[in-house]
Protein backbone atom coordinates (compact mmCIF):
# COMPACT_ATOMS: atom_id res chain seq x y z
CA UNK A 1 0.00 0.00 0.00
CA UNK A 2 2.88 2.32 0.66
CA UNK A 3 3.75 2.20 -3.04
CA UNK A 4 0.19 3.25 -3.91
CA UNK A 5 0.38 6.32 -1.67
CA UNK A 6 3.91 7.17 -2.77
CA UNK A 7 2.78 7.08 -6.41
CA UNK A 8 -0.15 9.40 -5.71
CA UNK A 9 2.04 11.75 -3.72
CA UNK A 10 4.54 11.93 -6.59
CA UNK A 11 1.78 12.43 -9.19
CA UNK A 12 0.35 15.33 -7.20
CA UNK A 13 3.77 16.93 -6.75
CA UNK A 14 4.58 16.50 -10.45
CA UNK A 15 1.24 18.00 -11.50
CA UNK A 16 1.79 21.00 -9.25
CA UNK A 17 5.32 21.44 -10.59
CA UNK A 18 4.00 21.17 -14.16
CA UNK A 19 1.37 23.84 -13.51
CA UNK A 20 3.90 26.23 -11.99
CA UNK A 21 6.46 25.49 -14.72
CA UNK A 22 3.98 26.15 -17.52
CA UNK A 23 2.91 29.33 -15.75
CA UNK A 24 6.50 30.56 -15.53
CA UNK A 25 7.75 29.36 -18.93
CA UNK A 26 4.73 30.54 -20.91
CA UNK A 27 4.17 33.60 -18.72
CA UNK A 28 0.60 32.60 -17.92
CA UNK A 29 -1.43 34.14 -15.14
CA UNK A 30 -3.68 31.55 -13.50
CA UNK A 31 -7.30 32.44 -12.87
CA UNK A 32 -8.96 31.81 -9.51
CA UNK A 33 -10.30 28.41 -10.55
CA UNK A 34 -6.81 27.37 -11.67
CA UNK A 35 -5.47 28.33 -8.25
CA UNK A 36 -8.24 26.38 -6.50
CA UNK A 37 -7.33 23.34 -8.62
CA UNK A 38 -3.80 23.58 -7.25
CA UNK A 39 -5.06 23.70 -3.67
CA UNK A 40 -7.05 20.52 -4.30
CA UNK A 41 -3.89 18.72 -5.47
CA UNK A 42 -2.08 19.94 -2.35
CA UNK A 43 -4.89 18.37 -0.29
CA UNK A 44 -4.58 15.12 -2.28
CA UNK A 45 -0.81 15.11 -1.75
CA UNK A 46 -1.26 15.58 2.00
CA UNK A 47 -3.79 12.76 2.08
CA UNK A 48 -1.41 10.48 0.18
CA UNK A 49 1.40 11.45 2.56
CA UNK A 50 -0.77 10.55 5.55
CA UNK A 51 -1.66 7.24 3.92
CA UNK A 52 2.03 6.57 3.38
CA UNK A 53 2.90 7.41 6.98
CA UNK A 54 -0.08 5.53 8.51
CA UNK A 55 -0.59 2.40 6.37
CA UNK A 56 -2.78 0.81 9.04
CA UNK A 57 -5.47 3.37 8.05
CA UNK A 58 -4.89 2.87 4.31
CA UNK A 59 -8.57 2.35 3.44
CA UNK A 60 -9.53 5.66 5.07
CA UNK A 61 -6.87 7.56 3.15
CA UNK A 62 -7.73 5.83 -0.12
CA UNK A 63 -11.33 7.02 0.26
CA UNK A 64 -10.10 10.48 1.22
CA UNK A 65 -7.85 10.64 -1.86
CA UNK A 66 -10.69 9.43 -4.09
CA UNK A 67 -13.03 12.06 -2.62
CA UNK A 68 -10.50 14.81 -3.18
CA UNK A 69 -9.97 13.71 -6.80
CA UNK A 70 -13.74 13.66 -7.38
CA UNK A 71 -13.92 17.22 -6.00
CA UNK A 72 -11.03 18.16 -8.29
CA UNK A 73 -12.88 16.66 -11.26
CA UNK A 74 -16.02 18.60 -10.34
CA UNK A 75 -14.08 21.85 -10.12
CA UNK A 76 -12.31 21.15 -13.41
CA UNK A 77 -15.57 20.24 -15.18
CA UNK A 78 -17.11 23.45 -13.85
CA UNK A 79 -14.09 25.38 -15.15
CA UNK A 80 -14.27 23.61 -18.52
CA UNK A 81 -17.94 24.50 -18.81
CA UNK A 82 -17.14 28.14 -18.17
CA UNK A 83 -14.43 28.06 -20.84
CA UNK A 84 -16.83 26.46 -23.33
CA UNK A 85 -19.51 29.05 -22.48
CA UNK A 86 -21.88 26.29 -21.30
CA UNK A 87 -22.59 28.24 -18.13
CA UNK A 88 -21.50 31.48 -16.57
CA UNK A 89 -18.70 31.75 -14.09
CA UNK A 90 -18.53 33.96 -11.06
CA UNK A 91 -20.18 37.32 -11.39
CA UNK A 92 -18.30 38.96 -8.54
CA UNK A 93 -14.71 40.03 -8.25
CA UNK A 94 -12.43 37.50 -6.60
CA UNK A 95 -9.40 39.68 -6.09
CA UNK A 96 -7.07 39.34 -3.13
CA UNK A 97 -6.05 43.02 -3.13
CA UNK A 98 -5.71 44.36 0.40
CA UNK A 99 -5.29 48.06 -0.23
CA UNK A 100 -6.24 50.48 2.55
CA UNK A 101 -6.03 53.75 0.62
CA UNK A 102 -7.23 54.87 -2.78
CA UNK A 103 -3.62 55.27 -3.98
CA UNK A 104 -2.73 51.73 -2.91
CA UNK A 105 -5.86 50.42 -4.60
CA UNK A 106 -5.03 52.21 -7.86
CA UNK A 107 -1.46 50.91 -7.80
CA UNK A 108 -2.59 47.37 -7.02
CA UNK A 109 -5.22 47.40 -9.77
CA UNK A 110 -2.74 48.74 -12.29
CA UNK A 111 -0.20 46.04 -11.42
CA UNK A 112 -2.64 43.11 -11.21
CA UNK A 113 -3.18 41.06 -14.36
CA UNK A 114 -6.79 40.59 -15.38
CA UNK A 115 -7.35 36.86 -15.72
CA UNK A 116 -10.75 35.59 -16.72
CA UNK A 117 -11.84 32.04 -16.01
CA UNK A 118 -13.73 31.87 -19.31
CA UNK A 119 -10.67 32.58 -21.44
CA UNK A 120 -8.47 29.63 -22.35
CA UNK A 121 -4.87 30.75 -21.95
CA UNK A 122 -3.19 27.55 -23.13
CA UNK A 123 -4.31 24.44 -24.92
CA UNK A 124 -2.79 21.31 -26.40
CA UNK A 125 -4.59 19.31 -29.11
CA UNK A 126 -7.63 21.53 -28.66
CA UNK A 127 -7.96 20.83 -24.94
CA UNK A 128 -7.37 23.31 -22.15
CA UNK A 129 -5.65 22.62 -18.85
CA UNK A 130 -9.07 22.43 -17.20
CA UNK A 131 -10.08 19.70 -19.70
CA UNK A 132 -6.94 17.71 -18.97
CA UNK A 133 -7.45 18.21 -15.24
CA UNK A 134 -11.02 16.85 -15.52
CA UNK A 135 -9.87 13.64 -17.17
CA UNK A 136 -6.82 13.17 -14.96
CA UNK A 137 -8.78 13.74 -11.76
CA UNK A 138 -11.35 11.14 -12.79
CA UNK A 139 -8.61 8.65 -13.68
CA UNK A 140 -6.92 9.19 -10.31
CA UNK A 141 -10.25 8.83 -8.47
CA UNK A 142 -10.92 5.62 -10.41
CA UNK A 143 -7.47 4.32 -9.48
CA UNK A 144 -8.20 4.96 -5.81
CA UNK A 145 -11.59 3.27 -5.99
CA UNK A 146 -10.10 0.29 -7.81
CA UNK A 147 -7.57 -0.20 -5.03
CA UNK A 148 -10.22 0.34 -2.35
CA UNK A 149 -12.49 -2.38 -3.71
CA UNK A 150 -9.62 -4.68 -4.65
CA UNK A 151 -8.23 -4.51 -1.13
CA UNK A 152 -11.69 -5.20 0.32
CA UNK A 153 -12.05 -8.30 -1.89
CA UNK A 154 -8.52 -9.48 -1.00
CA UNK A 155 -9.26 -9.06 2.71
CA UNK A 156 -12.40 -11.21 2.44
CA UNK A 157 -10.52 -14.03 0.74
CA UNK A 158 -7.98 -14.33 3.57
17-52: pLDDT as tens digits: 999 998 899 888 888 888 899 999 999 999 999 999
Burial (Cβ within 10 Å: 0-12, 13-18, ≥19) of residue 6 = middle
- Rounded CA gap, 94 and 13, in Å? 26
Reported as a single tens digit per residue, the pLDDT across 92-137 is 455 555 667 778 767 766 666 666 666 777 777 988 888 999 999 9
Q: List the beta strands (DSSP E) in the chain.
A: 123-124, 127-128
Q: Which of 34, 31, 17 is nearest to 132 (CA)?
A: 34
Spell out the domain ranges in the chain.
2-21+32-88+117-157
Q: What is the pLDDT of residue 117?
A: 66
Helices 32-53 + 129-157 axis angle, to 10:
20
Examine the pLDDT at 158 and tell me if it is beyond 50: no
Examine the pLDDT at 54 and tell me if it is beyond 80: yes
Amino acid sequence: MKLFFLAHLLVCILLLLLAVSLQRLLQLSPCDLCMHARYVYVAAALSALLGFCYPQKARVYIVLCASIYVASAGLAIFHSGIELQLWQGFSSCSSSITATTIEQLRAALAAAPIVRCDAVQWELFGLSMANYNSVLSLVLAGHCLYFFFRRKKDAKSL
